[in-house]
Amino acid sequence: MTTGTSKHLVDPEIMGLLDILPPLDLTNETLAQTRAMLSEMNAQLLTGLPEFPDISVREQYIAGPEGAPDVRVLVYLPKNVPTPVPALLWIHGGGYVIGNADQADLQMKSIISATGCAAVAVDYRLAPETPHPGPVEDCYAALKWLYTNASSLGVDASRIAIGGDSAGGGLTACLALLTRDRGEVPLIFQLLIYPMLDDRTVTTADPHPYTGEYVWTPQANHFGWSALLGQEPGGPDVSPYAAAARATNLEGLPPALIGVGTLDLFLEEDIEYARRLIRAGVPTELHIYPGGFHAFPMVAEAKVSQAFIRDYLNALTRAFNQS
């Protein structure tokens, strides 16, 4: 794709973000440097955040999958509310190779303020150091811990939702499949924010002409999937617990919301997954935001971002209240 081919389609209110976000040149050689740069950027962003005195946050290490290290989680609990409250298990984005639980701090606190839930953010192990199934098993360990310890946390074990953005959205979809198949934890909702679902996108012969120019590119996508799978993406033997789009049966999954921008590399795989969920009888909302590239809600004051945030908060609130 030639540079600039989709610029005329970008929502003007989010255009400025492209000047701030560095292009992700992800290789084995640049990965450590990219992680350090993004971590520093995130730390700076977190310093200027508003206070949320009605929410307590604590770091905790919980038992990981069998034979694996403990998993770090951040536990967010609303103060001065009648318990038990519903809960959201949150899985951060970063292409399976970058990011940490701390980056969603403002988002977690905003969700808690709007819905009255508790939240647990998972610091799953990253690829390529930990390929599949390590990341999704870390998330399952955190979900199982949340469910098992619900009463001591003041959480209603019958009202647990899972959610995440980008690779975290992909892990959320995989975790929903794994949780359905293991039958140990009931889930009421899956919040899939521009989820990374299908490794076969990397090898498609017919790429979308206007997606993936900004933030998360085909090159970054190829690197992320290769790191997670430990092999070339698009091959025949990829588990649906690694790439949820590979699942042949989507019946019995929790209700879902999928939201994505029209310029996001994941646009078509997200639309297709929503179509298949609906066809499998899973109550599903699909929202497509014109002019949105990957991670556009970072510009929180833009109208298109406010629409997205309002849509997913409404869906979460309904899910928590219905159950």
Write out the catalytic residue numbers. Answer: 166, 264, 294
Contact in structure between 104 and 120 (CB atoms under 8 Å): no
DSSP strands (E only) in 37-154:
55-62, 71-78, 85-91, 118-123
**CA–CA gap between residue 238 and residue 199 (Å, rounded):** 9
Residue whose pair of structure tokens reads 């469910």 in the numeric block: 147
Helix (H, G, I), strand (E, B) or coil at 215: coil
**CA–CA gap between residue 225 and residue 220 (Å, rounded):** 9
Q: Any idea of the CA torsion for 202, 191, 139, 200, to the nearest 10 degrees?
A: -10
Contact in structure between 257 and 191 (CB atoms under 8 Å): yes
Q: Any idea of the CA torsion for 143, 149, 153, 155, to the nearest 10 degrees?
A: 60
